[in-house]
């Protein structure tokens, strides 16, 4: 998980806190609720910082819980099973602090736990190399166009949009509207593994007459993704249930405008640098897509300014302050 890796590496690099990595062994549930609390006592730790919603309910030390999203609040089935609902409902009863990656998630949580809302904190994630506005020395971004058989048309990037919650269908309907208007030629590039949902969406693309405008290069390594982000004219993120969405922050840090759904965590993250659309209205999506492509260069510096505060060091600094507060 990028959020865990980025935060832990920043904490270890800064060395303000003594970070002890505790790696699960054997059956996860038994390790979490039996062995992990014992380790806290044996090692004399202040507590457990969980990068996910689950954590040991009993045992010594403080507890920090991380709630990434509450998708059932937005009519999305993925990650809405009883386990996720349990930890969102009862985790805040035991946790000393509950971290949310956006105010969007914190607001969902406060609606249930208003009396304990002081324990709910917003902690946005960060972004770092190789993602960024400038390529690393020796990198030629344009190489990826040939590597993944992409043409010269403006690219609208849909990162990991191979699951239903990513709402690729809304992007496809918006692109169909652009084609209907004889608007700019735009190449929709969908990254990620082959999934049943992607197959269904490609079927929709065929019905809409978009097959030649949609590319599916599969899973792409981070270094190539950084190049694609810099080359893209837009990054489309129309999911509504997610609590943060790294593609938005990665787009901003690359100087590429993100097209985001109104009233979402993604719109909150993008701020004034984002192109906000009504994801249920193909005409609105088309308007946003065309604006992002046509105004890409003028929006570039707004994107970079918006991304600047979201570093892993800034994230780590807030976690350090939180644990010093708990101590």
pLDDT grade for 118, boundaries at 50, 70 and 90: confident
Predicted local distance difference test score (pLDDT) of residue 104 = 92
The packing angle between helices 168-180 and 282-294, to 10°, is 80
Q: Which residue intervals of 15-81 are DSSP H helices?
A: 28-30, 36-43
Share of the chain above pLDDT 90, in %: 69
- For the beta carbon of residue 238, count every other beta carbon within 10 angstroms: 26
**CATH architecture for the domain at 143-307:** 3-Layer(aba) Sandwich (3.40)
List Cβ neighbours of 18 (8 Å cut-off, separation of 6 or more).
Answer: none
As a residue count, the chain comes to 327
Instruction: Name the band, by pLDDT with cuts 50, 70 and 90, for residue 196.
Output: very high
Greatest CA separation for the chain:
68
- pLDDT at residue 182, rounded to an integer: 92
pLDDT for 220 equals: 92
Beta strands in the chain (DSSP E): 47-49, 62-66, 97-100, 120-122, 155-158, 187-191, 214-218, 234-237, 258-261, 275-277
Distance CA 150, CA 179 (A): 19
pLDDT tens sequence across 6-19: 999 999 999 999 99
* Number of other residues whose CB lies within 10 A of the CB of residue 25: 10
Element (H, E) at 228: helix 222-231
User: pLDDT at residue 130 above 90?
Assistant: no
Q: 2-126+311-326: what fold?
A: Rossmann fold (3.40.50)
pLDDT for position 113:
60
Residues 165-178: what's their mean pLDDT?
95
Please give the pLDDT value at position 27. 86
Cα–Cα dist 197/203, whole Å? 10
pLDDT of residue 116 exceeding 80: no
Q: What does the pLDDT average to over 70-86?
A: 88
pLDDT digits (tens, 9 = 90+) for 133-159: 888 777 788 899 989 999 889 999 999
Both tokens of residue 41? 């006592």
Answer yes or no: same fold for 2-126+311-326 and 143-307: yes
pLDDT (average), residues 247-272: 95
Of 242 and 282, the structure prediction assigns the larger pLDDT to 282
The whole-number average pLDDT for the span 153-174 is: 93
Mean pLDDT value across the chain? 91
CA distance 214 to 177: 14
Domains in the chain: boundaries: 2-126+311-326, 143-307
């Amino acid at each position: 998980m990028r959020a865990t890796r980025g935060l832990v590496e920043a904490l270890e690099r800064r060395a303000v806190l003594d970070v002890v990595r505790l790696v699960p062994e054997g059956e996860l549930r038994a390790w979490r609720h039996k062995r992990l609390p014992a380790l806290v006592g044996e090692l004399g730790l202040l507590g457990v910082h969980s990068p996910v919603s689950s954590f040991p309910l009993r045992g010594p030390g403080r507890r920090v819980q991380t709630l990434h999203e509450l998708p059932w609040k937005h009519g999305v089935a993925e990650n809405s099973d009883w386990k996720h609902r349990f930890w969102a409902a009862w985790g805040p009863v035991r946790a000393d602090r509950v971290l949310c990656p956006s105010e969007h998630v914190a607001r969902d949580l406060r609606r249930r736990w208003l009396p304990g809302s002081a324990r709910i904190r917003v902690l946005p994630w960060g972004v770092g190399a190789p993602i960024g506005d400038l390529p690393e020395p020796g990198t030629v971004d344009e190489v990826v166009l040939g590597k993944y058989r992409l043409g010269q048309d403006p690219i609208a990037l849909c990162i990991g949009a191979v699951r239903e919650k990513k709402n690729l269908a809304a992007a496809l309907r918006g692109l169909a509207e652009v084609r209907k208007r004889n608007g700019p030629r735009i190449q929709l590039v969908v990254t990620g593994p082959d999934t049943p949902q992607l197959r269904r969406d490609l079927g929709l693309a065929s019905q809409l007459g978009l097959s030649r405008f949609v590319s599916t290069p599969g899973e792409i390594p981070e270094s190539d993704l950084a190049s694609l982000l810099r080359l893209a004219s837009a990054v489309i993120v129309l999911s509504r249930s997610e609590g943060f969405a790294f593609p938005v922050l990665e787009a901003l840090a690359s100087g590429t405008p993100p097209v985001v759904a109104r009233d979402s965590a993604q719109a909150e993250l993008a701020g004034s640098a984002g192109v906000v659309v009504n994801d249920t209205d193909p005409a609105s999506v088309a308007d946003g897509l065309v604006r992002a492509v046509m105004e890409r260069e003028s929006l570039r510096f707004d994107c970079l300014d918006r991304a600047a505060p979201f570093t892993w060091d800034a994230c780590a600094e807030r976690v350090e302050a939180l644990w010093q507060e708990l101590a």
